[in-house]
Amino acid sequence: MSDTISINGEIHPLTAKSIVELLSQRNIDINKGGVAVALNGEVVPRANWDQTSIKPGNKVEIVHIVRGG
């Protein structure tokens, strides 16, 4: 069985080594504002996206700014 991670609550095969790689695979512009990432319940600061590696079983949350009241 291949290694998997959870992305926004859904199980996916682990295909990215870092957060930067994961975001680009999902067509998210890493230079654009309004996006944030948490790894296993902890926010990963933007500056650490490229050196933060993703391991099998990790839980990743990728969020952005949307309309709200």
Partner 1 sequence: MDAKVANTDFSIAGKTFSSRFLIGTSRYPNQQVMMDAIEASGAEIVTVAVRRVSQESGGEGLYDLLGDRFHLLPNTAGCFTARDAVLTAELAREALETNWVKLEVIGDDETLFPDVEHLLRAAEELVGKGFIVLPYCNDDPITCKKLEDIGCAAVMPLAAPIGSGMGIRNPYNLRIIREQCSVPIIVDAGVGTASDAAVALELGCDGILLNTAVAGARDPVKMALAMKLGIEAGRHAFEAGRIPRRLYATASTPTDGAIEL
In the complex, the residues that contact partner 1 under the rule CB under 8 A are 8-9, 26-29, 32-38, 41, 43, 45-46, 61-69
**Residue 26 vs 55, nearer CB to partner 1:** 26
**Residue 2 vs 68, nearer CB to partner 1:** 68
At closest approach, how far in Å is the CB of 42 from partner 1?
8
Long-range contacts of 41-50 (CB under 8 A, 24+ apart): 44/19, 48/19, 49/18, 49/19, 49/20, 49/23, 50/18, 50/19, 50/20
At closest approach, how far in Å is the CB of 47 from partner 1?
10
Tell me phi and psi for residue 63, to 5 degrees: -125, 160
Strand partners, 39: 42, 60
**Residue 2 vs 42, nearer CB to partner 1:** 42
